[in-house]
Amino acid sequence: MACLSRADAPKSAMRDRRLAARGTSRGQLDADQGCEDFEMLDPHSATGVFEARDSQREPEEAGRGRSHGLLEPIGGWWVSVALFLLSACLGRQVPDEGFRYPIETPRYATGAGPRVAIDAAHGNFHTADGRFGPFARLLRDDGYRVDSFDAELSAESLAEVDVLVIANPLARENRRRWRLPAYDAYKDAEISALRTWLESGGALLLIADHMPFPGAAESLAADLGIFFANGYAQDASGQGHIVFSRDDGSLQGHPITDGTTPNERIESVKVFTGQAFRTAADSGAEPLMVLPAGARVLLPTKPRDFSERTPYILAEELLQGATLSLGEGRVAVFGEAAMFTAQLAITRKDRKQFGMSAPGAEQNARFALNVLRWLSRS
């Protein structure tokens, strides 16, 4: 969800129709944007609400009468968040070309598997020829046919695609201006074409990382019953690098995490600062990655611009991974992109690995393969 003002929020007849179908008003859409004075739909029910909060407001005002009061701001906590995000996100991000995950038994012979098309037509920050290069190579090593998708979404352009990957799109208006307002990267006709394709048996891997990417995919995701928070998800200690584990229940049992053999079973996956989302109560979505107690999503107006007044929402039990079925099709959605690839963050002082090649992310590549195998029913 893009945190837009009422004046700036893009309007479309199609979005109004979607809202009406869900029993949601335009005012509620504006409320869903995550700005500090607005209420947001509660992840636990279709009718409850929870609010974005300004850490300098009085608890009674910020809590708006809710039973859970404002979490007290702690200066050191905010400082640690800001410093962590700056250290994690600044620097040039390039693919880690030295990473290669050994696949003992590829699912398909080379080039004989389903066609995976990775979107590159919507200002995507991660593409097959760029930061998702290691992800594309991983899939090719498993026998998939992987290429870039360089067209608008339509019945014709999707006709030969088995699995579509959309990772971190950006609208033209935001490609050089990573701040609010955030605009949709996909036209209404594209969203309709995607839904029709999915209902007929297509498969979608949808990934929107931290701000500003959720705003660009807001309408597309909402049409599937997925509601993004256009911010930065953090655990209770202010860390964005979060390990989801079976041991603590944050990584859920699912055909993706169970795999088809003991060697494919996933015990943990690591993410590298993303967003959080909820799913519609009637979507039939299955959670994969559940944020822990004390998690929150910071909602700055521009990336990495944090202060004690930065509004936030509580994110306990919001998601960073889920799946759902739509007609004959399948969808897997995630709130973080680096977990699916291997990258280097290069600064003047050092080079840091993150993604599949990072310490603590040893099962991320296996997880990525399991996701694609589930989507392609292979």
355: nearest Cα among 347, 369, 344, 366: 344
Query: Two tokens at 267?
Result: 């015990």
Query: Two tokens at 333?
Result: 């959605």
Q: What is the pLDDT of residue 28?
A: 30
Q: What is the pLDDT of residue 302?
A: 84
| Percent share of the chain, pLDDT over 90 | 70
**215, containing H or E segment:** helix 213-216
101: nearest Cα among 362, 371, 374: 362
Query: Two tokens at 314?
Result: 């509580």
Give the count of beta carbons closer than 10 Å to the beta carbon of residue 60. 10
pTM of the model: 0.81
Average pLDDT score, the chain: 81
Give how far Cα 30 sits from Cα of 7, 220, 297, Å.
10, 17, 18
Q: What is the pLDDT of residue 366?
A: 98
**DSSP 8-state symbol, 53:** B
**Residue position matching structure tokens 């880690």:** 96
Alpha-carbon Rg of the chain, whole angstroms?
A: 20
Per residue in 263-317, pLDDT tens?
999 999 999 999 999 999 999 999 999 999 999 999 998 888 888 899 999 999 9
Query: Two tokens at 285?
Result: 């979505």
Residue boundaries of the structural domains of the chain: 13-375
**312-314/342-346 β-pairing:** unpaired
What CATH number has the domain spanning 13-375?
Answer: 3.40.50.880
Query: Two tokens at 222?
Result: 């909402």
How many CA within 13 A on the CB side of residue 322? 26
What residues have CB less than 8 Å from 170, skipping those under 6 apart?
122, 123, 124, 125, 185, 212, 213, 216
2: nearest Cα among 26, 30, 28: 30
Q: Indicate the range of 207-211, 230-234, 304-308 predicted with least confidence.
A: 304-308
Q: Taking residues 327-338, report their average pLDDT.
A: 98
Q: What is the pLDDT of residue 93?
A: 87
Task: Say how far apart CA 163 and CA 12 lie, in whole Å.
Answer: 28
